[in-house]
Chains A and B, each alone.
Chain A
């Protein structure tokens, strides 16, 4: 892709966004009836489905119970048609296993596990279409699914991936928020940050791609953190809308009178 620049001379990215603009986020909670909680999230063209089962009894592997808290199990899976080149294995490869571990770590710090000793919470993620920031989209979708399942969290877990566009024509390099597939693959660092925005804490931080100079880490990280906070606003609005809808449905069907 000779001549394709991450940031054009007018300050526009490859998909027409400004460096601090997020992609359009659309989401829906309660997509499926079988899981205890489910959510569908779109961040631009990245589409992710999350399903949560739990808290429930640990049946098969008794050794995995903790006496004082819940055992969190996450699985990250990409559909074979999610990428433009067909993927051979949906899950089980090294990268997916690493993502599983990262997700476990994130949600163990965000879920109030001390409320469910000796139980297990399963979080399953399925990427239907991968267009960049797949991991971040998964974290956001999983948060919504956990809320849909009624599992208490310390705060929303919001995740965002940011990068640094190389300097052009003497201007300093510009940090950009919410990367898409083109920006991810063109080379350049990708800083993926998951935060609990209201508690101002970072639960996960990962830098991949090329190296990042020490002086650039702060602006890029700050961009990611702001992006995550903006995403929280979107998720919060979606959750409140969903709850209002559920309440309305209950009132209409006459169940509100019992409560």
Chain B
């Protein structure tokens, strides 16, 4: 993550505010910053979404490819996450600088979506054992302002909601190789995915005894430890992670409190995100992208 230089005085100021449940921008410890969501920005992709969480900006695109299913799961499709930290966000991401962070984030997202409950991969199967869909989920990080993984998970869920997979039919088979035909877009034969159970990841930063939801970059620089929890809409936790070098005391109540708070916040975030996506899909506003 981009390094923020904070003086001791600034850190103390943030700490004192958090003790009184007031943060630098006036939020309470469990409030999110304003989130902007836009679907369908990338025309080349089957589905896309842009999430803007204050000054964290993430663009997620989903592209579908036909692939052979893995031998362990012959009747399931695949999800492949790829994260690209653009140098636009910070000069440290130039060249291969952002690769380590990108790999970590991609691995975290893969784990969050690993359970069959969050995303049913069998809907991606075309012909059992022979052909399946592979969804390539590509995340482009344009600006880092804290809560990066939260924005990425929201973007992924929204992009999956925006994704339409063309319907496939088999038109011929010949000696073990199949010929598949993709229905034309003009035909209107595209099916949406079942994205409703996809998880949202929530990051909680621990500052003394308080837990901060959606920490800004400055607050993240003060916090000793963080906890990332993937929460699906039915209150289930799909993954947890403690990034960086922080730690939680094993017998303190902070950890349990953190998990409970994360599930709480996660469920509310999922509901709000679903509502926003539905609103976007019904109203269908003209795409503005970066021009507004």
- 1/0 contact trace for B230-256 toward A, CB 8 Å? 000000000000000000000000000
- Residues of B contacting A253 with CB < 8 Å? none
- 1/0 contact trace for A104-148 toward B, CB 8 Å? 000000000000000000101010110000000000000000000
Number of interchain pairs (Cβ within 8 Å): 91
Q: In the complex, A122→B87 CA distance in Å? A: 10
- Among B96, B143, B289, B290, which residue has its beta carbon within 8 angstroms of that of A92? B96
- Among A34, A77, A83, A92, which residue has its beta carbon within 8 angstroms of that of B44? A83
How many chain B residues touch A (Cβ–Cβ < 8 Å)? 33
A5 within 8 A of B: no
- Residues of B contacting A34 with CB < 8 Å? 2, 55, 89-90, 143-145
B218 within 8 A of A: no
- 1/0 contact trace for A38-59 toward B, CB 8 Å? 1010100101010101000000
Contact A126/B86 with A32-B142, A45-B43, A49-B290 known, Cβ cut-off 8 Å: yes
Q: In the complex, A122→B45 CA distance in Å? A: 30
How many chain A residues touch B (Cβ–Cβ < 8 Å)? 33
- Residues of B contacting A129 with CB < 8 Å? 42-44
Binding-face segment, B10-18, B58-66, B167-175, B193-201: B58-66
Is A81 in contact with B61, judged by CB distance below 8 angstroms? yes
- Residues of B contacting A47 with CB < 8 Å? 289-290
- The binding surface of chain B is classed by DSSP as loop
Contact A53/B91 with A32-B142, A77-B86, A129-B42 known, Cβ cut-off 8 Å: yes
Is B87 in contact with A75, judged by CB distance below 8 angstroms? yes
- Residues of A contacting B84 with CB < 8 Å? 77, 79-80, 90
A207 within 8 A of B: no
A31 within 8 A of B: yes
Question: Which single residue of chain B is at the shortest CB-CB distance from A126?
Answer: B86
Question: Which single residue of chain A is at the shortest CB-CB distance from B136?
Answer: A86
B32 within 8 A of A: no
B127 within 8 A of A: no
- Among B44, B63, B90, B140, which residue has its beta carbon within 8 angstroms of that of A126? B140
Is B138 in contact with A81, judged by CB distance below 8 angstroms? yes
B119 within 8 A of A: no
- Among B2, B63, B90, B290, which residue has its beta carbon within 8 angstroms of that of A28? B290
B48 within 8 A of A: yes
Question: Which single residue of chain B is at the shortest CB-CB distance from A124?
Answer: B87
Q: In the complex, A91→B48 CA distance in Å? A: 21
A26 within 8 A of B: yes
Question: Which single residue of chain B is at the shortest CB-CB distance from A42?
Answer: B291
- Residues of A contacting B87 with CB < 8 Å? 51, 75, 77, 122, 124, 126
Is A82 in contact with B44, judged by CB distance below 8 angstroms? yes
Question: Which single residue of chain A is at the shortest CB-CB distance from B89?
Answer: A34
Is A81 in contact with B90, judged by CB distance below 8 angstroms? no
- Among A28, A42, A81, which residue has its beta carbon within 8 angstroms of that of B45? A81
Q: In the complex, A34→B92 CA distance in Å? A: 13
B95 within 8 A of A: yes
B219 within 8 A of A: no
Q: In the complex, A90→B140 CA distance in Å? A: 10
Is B143 in contact with A32, judged by CB distance below 8 angstroms? yes
Is A31 in contact with B91, judged by CB distance below 8 angstroms? no
B57 within 8 A of A: yes
A84 within 8 A of B: yes
Q: In the complex, A109→B289 CA distance in Å? A: 32
Q: Which of B57, B59, B87 has the most CB of A within 10 A?
A: B87
A219 within 8 A of B: no
- Residues of A contacting B63 with CB < 8 Å? 81, 86
- 1/0 contact trace for A64-82 toward B, CB 8 Å? 0000000001010101111
Q: Which of B2, B42, B55 has the most CB of A within 10 A?
A: B42
Q: In the complex, A166→B12 CA distance in Å? A: 70
Is A75 in contact with B94, judged by CB distance below 8 angstroms? yes
B70 within 8 A of A: no
Chain B residues engaging chain A, CB cutoff 8 angstroms: 2, 42-45, 48, 55, 57, 59, 61, 63, 65, 82, 84, 86-91, 94-96, 136, 138, 140, 142-145, 289-291
Q: Please give 19 more A-B residue pairs, beta carbons under 8 A apart, in addition to A79-B86, A80-B82.
A: A26-B291, A32-B57, A32-B88, A34-B55, A35-B88, A40-B289, A47-B289, A73-B94, A75-B94, A75-B95, A77-B86, A79-B140, A80-B84, A80-B140, A81-B138, A82-B44, A90-B86, A124-B88, A124-B91
User: Mind listing 9 A-B residue pairs with CB under 8 Å?
Assistant: A32-B57, A34-B2, A34-B55, A45-B43, A49-B142, A77-B84, A79-B59, A79-B140, A82-B44
Which 7 pairs between the two chains have the least Cβ-Cβ distance?
A: A81-B61, A51-B88, A124-B87, A40-B290, A80-B138, A81-B45, A126-B86
